[in-house]
Amino acid sequence: MKFLRDRILRHQYHKMRAAVYNKYGPPEVVKLVEVDRPLPRSNEVLVKVYATTVNRTDCGFRSAEYFISRFFSGLFKPKFGILGNEFAGIIEAVGKDVTLLNIGDKVFGYNDTKFGAHAEYMTIAETDAITTIPNDVTFEQAAPITEGAHYALCDIRAAKIKSGHNVMIYGASGAIGSAAVQLIKNYDAKVTAVCSTQNVEVVKSLGADQVIDYITQDFTKIDQKFDFIFDAVGKSSFRQCKTLLKKNGTYISTELGKNYENIFLALLTPLFRGKKVLFPLPTIKKEDVILLKKLVESGKYKPLVDRSYHLDKIVDAYKYVETRQKVGNVVITLT
């Protein structure tokens, strides 16, 4: 044990490359620099990161576009320093109380409490959202498994999707939407996906029963009623979608809406009978990562990857993600 502890301590003095941001702002606030490697606490593992992603969560915390995010990431300046919530890599050291994971394990997961995956090394508690990589899956394929999928899972659970439900997913080509299409199909529900012309084929390939191209067709005019309308890109409104909902149907959006209306509607509409808006707060547990791993292994879920960048080009990756046109996920490689 002493040998192990000494080995861990030596890591503290080793340097690593990391994408660091010291102030909120545009992609250019992120700089590649050398910093000390983190040292795992007694309940943590040290992961050598082989792949990560740049996603809308990273963008939100980097830009602090919504002031509310500063209550988590620091009121005046960022307290994490290194972003990156999704990771895939190999465990290089473990704290003295770690029992579930071992040095050498190939792992993946999600860390939105400390972030830190935009670096060659990161630490995470072994009981947090981390597990071993699914069989026959590369680091680049494992890294994007969790972000979009865990937001989708939270919303699917809140909407209490059942077999036979009729569901509409607006924005089905994004990270959250593309995960939602696949995950909802596992509930044996009927999925109508909405996206632009260029993404119709890829969204069909995810298993959607019907795809509506919002460029050529007004999705609010279709002659169908839905149990659940999930706006995965936050571009619609409850008012716009209300006529498409069944009597007790649910509307969920990933965005706050105009003047934060989705928050107010989520507080008010459940008090009455009929159509309602929900705004569940996203959470992720170890069990969720294990569930996603099983779905990947059984071929029931495959994260959609748009493109990859090396860590050296992370500013370009941020710029691309902020076009809001990515199809699925943007992966960052570190090897």
Ligand X SMILES: NC(=O)c1ccc[n+]([C@@H]2O[C@H](COP(=O)([O-])OP(=O)(O)OC[C@H]3O[C@@H](n4cnc5c(N)ncnc54)[C@H](OP(=O)(O)O)[C@@H]3O)[C@@H](O)[C@H]2O)c1
Contacts with ligand X, residue ranges (CB under 6 A): 55-57, 60, 66, 148, 171, 173-177, 195-196, 199, 214, 232-235, 254-255, 324-327
- Nearer Cβ to ligand X (210/325): 325
The CA-based angle 116-179-266, given to 5 degrees, is: 85
Ramachandran angles phi, psi of 279, nearest 5°: -140, 70
Which residue from 230, 246, 320 is spatially nearest to 278, judged by alpha carbons?
A: 230
State the nearest-atom distance from the C-beta of 213 to ligand X, in Å: 9
State the nearest-atom distance from the C-beta of 151 to ligand X, in Å: 6
State the nearest-atom distance from the C-beta of 74 to ligand X, in Å: 15
- Nearer Cβ to ligand X (43/113): 113
State the nearest-atom distance from the C-beta of 123 to ligand X, in Å: 22
State the nearest-atom distance from the C-beta of 311 to ligand X, in Å: 20
- Nearer Cβ to ligand X (2/258): 258
- Nearer Cβ to ligand X (132/329): 329
State the nearest-atom distance from the C-beta of 253 to ligand X, in Å: 8
State the nearest-atom distance from the C-beta of 15 to ligand X, in Å: 30
Nearest-angstrom CA–CA distance, 32 and 34: 7
Whether 189 and 162 have beta carbons less than 8 Å apart is answered as: yes
In our burial notation (b when 16+ CB lie closer than 10 A, e otherwise), range 180-218 reads bbbbbbeeebbbbbbbeeebbebbbebebeebbebeeee
- Nearer Cβ to ligand X (45/176): 176
Q: Looking only at Cα atoms, what is the longest distance across the chain?
A: 69
Residue of this chain nearest to ligand X (CB atom):
174
- Nearer Cβ to ligand X (95/257): 257
- Nearer Cβ to ligand X (70/313): 70
How many CB atoms are closer than 10 A to CB 81?
Answer: 18
Nearest-angstrom CA–CA distance, 328 and 217: 23
Nearest-angstrom CA–CA distance, 316 and 321: 9
Residue that has been written with the tokens 């107010």 in this structure: 264
